[in-house]
Amino acid sequence: MNEQTKLKAAVLGASGYTGAETVRLLAGHPRVDAVAATGNSLAGKALSEIFPHLAGPTDLPVVKAEDVDWTGIDVAFGCLPHGTSQDLIETLPDHVRVVDLSADYRLRDANLYAETYGRAHLNPARTAVVKYGLPEWRGDSLRGEALVACPGCYPTASLLALLPVVNLIDPDSVIIDAKSGVSGSGRGLKEGNLFSEAAEGSLAYGVGQHRHAPEIEQELNSQAGRNDIGVTFTPHLLPMVRGELVTCHVRGDADQIQTALEAKNANAPFITVLPAGSKAPDTKHVRGTNNCRIAVYPDRVQGRVVIVAVIDNLVKGSSGQAIQNLNLMMAEDQAVWRELWTGYLEFYESKVSDEVYESTFQRLLTDGPYEPSGLIAWEGDEALGLVHFMFHRHCWRVENVCYLQDLFARPAARGKGVGRALIEAVYAHADQSGCPVVYWNTADDNATARQLYDRIAHKTQFIKYLR
């Protein structure tokens, strides 16, 4: 693609969560413009009437699919429900490339698709050859593809944890315990998603028959060169909006599994394999990002191993991964706009006022000798909220957000007390990156903050706010 050319994208089903997420993320893409948004039941409205956070440059009129002028569209993102997506995709002009976020092209066996989703596939020959778009595994094979099937959110987390080790584990003993926020069920009205039904409780659903299990088995068998691997997959609904956690129970050697995961993901920009013995990953650690964090633990029962993976179901589990796939289809670097993955999205409910964020941003601009392209921050929603605010209010991209928890694992911080470890870790990172530091705390006379400021003030900006 010519460096100066920007692709024109249509988002099919833009009135749903994944559709709106795709529109929002595309707003920052340097080489793609979202120019059409479909949503038949809400046609005639502006996207900002449905999702107020999309007001401004990202706003688009919602139209029916048949009213889109497809002659000017280069790529379509299929954000429609399973079964509905293929009905529209099969009618699109040949020149339109498609990334489909539904399940309609994930299963290569059309009979298995019909059995799993309750309807026949319109184009069995096509679904048999469509590439399965798990970017860390398909990579360059997606270049030039006309249609790519984006994996489901549960399969994404499960496969990133299991594919690198499928030949190191007992294939007859794979158990996946999965948990997701309610946005994974989509935006349609469902009784189980009502606040009074989902809040203050958790439940298993689709027990023994969830539709994502065949998708996971297909990819595990393909990687292992087998056809007999089956998984016990049980999803659970958690009373949170977004985030997904999978706990995989397998038989094998924890050290071998750790080594294999580290080797496979050494150069994967969005995958972090935590060092052995690390604190278990939390959905908060990836919320609003295209990242996946994986950790391996030996079980107390000899020969059993636990692999934990977390993603954001709406980003790495859907819209973010879809755009990552498009970048690969168009022969782009999959991390071409990795900086935007660190931004936070619509469901953020800030405990910090916009006024505080604005004053923080202004201090970043005026107090230092450079523009804030990165931050070092306490792990938590305040830092993500600031990144979100900076992008949406000022169109300012923060390319590097480094959390203190990650810094603690580095050699500079080992063998020291928490306060000293913080100082050493931040000092080392600030020395290398020149990133400003935003420090959120509850007490003005915090000794650690004072020492940290004294140590790094000459190197970088230091901004401290009280809660």
- List active site positions: 153
Nearest partner of 286 among 194, 405, 165, 424, judged by Cα: 405
Q: How far is it between the farthest Cα atoms of the chain?
A: 68
Chain centroid to Cα 170, Å, comes to: 29
**CB under 8 Å to 262, separation ≥6 — which residues?**
273
Contact 8, 35 (CB under 8 A): yes
In whole angstroms, what is the distance from residue 282 CA to residue 457 CA?
31
Helix pair 212-224, 110-117: axis angle to 10 deg:
150
Look at the block and give the residue holding tokens 């360059």. Answer: 140
In whole angstroms, what is the distance from residue 353 CA to residue 438 CA?
16
The one-letter amino acid at 213: A
Extract the tokens encoding 10. 């249509």
Q: How many residues does the chain have?
A: 467
Q: Sheet of 174-180: strands edge to edge?
A: 203-204, 231-237, 174-180, 244-251, 304-311, 292-298, 271-273
**CB under 8 Å to 359, separation ≥6 — which residues?**
none
Q: Which is it for strands 304-311 and 292-298: parallel, antiparallel or unpaired?
A: antiparallel
Backbone conformation region of residue 434, classed left if phi is above 0, alpha if psi is from -120 to 50, else beta: left
In whole angstroms, what is the distance from residue 366 CA to residue 361 CA?
9
CA torsion through residues 133, 137, 139, 140, sign = negative
Strand partners, 245: 179, 310
DSSP state of 212: H
DSSP-derived secondary structure for 21-79: HHHHHHTT-TTEEEEEEE-GGGTTSBHHHH-GGG-STT--BEE-GGGS-GGG--EEEE-
Q: Is 368 helix (H, G, I), strand (E, B) or coil?
A: coil
192 exposure class (CB count in 10 Å sphere: 0-12, 13-18, 19+): exposed
Extract the tokens encoding 129. 């050859």
Contact 76, 100 (CB under 8 A): no
